[in-house]
Amino acid sequence: ADLSRLAPRLCHLMRSEHGYGFNLHSDRSRPGQYIRSLDPGSPADRAWAPPQDRLVEVTHQYLFG
């Protein structure tokens, strides 16, 4: 099994004039906020933040529920 997908990864994104380039969603069956999609060429796309990854912290604020 590839355990690298389970390891936390730090991504530092600089906002462009169009935003960060990702859309979030939540799921009642599991806690957290997940990346639904990426805008091609956006900061999130360039930082390799794949869809379905869970965000755990944004600007030093933990995301729970």
Which class is 18-62 in CATH? mainly beta
Residue extents of the structural domains in the chain: 18-62
**Residue partners of 14: CB distance under 8 A and separation at least 6:** 43
Across residues 37-64, what is the average pLDDT? 82
Output the pLDDT for position 1: 58
Residue 49 C-beta-side C-alpha neighbours within 13 Å: 26
**Amino acid 40: pLDDT:** 93
- pLDDT tens figures, 25-45: 888 888 888 888 999 999 888
pTM over 0.75: no
pLDDT for the residue numbered 7: 73
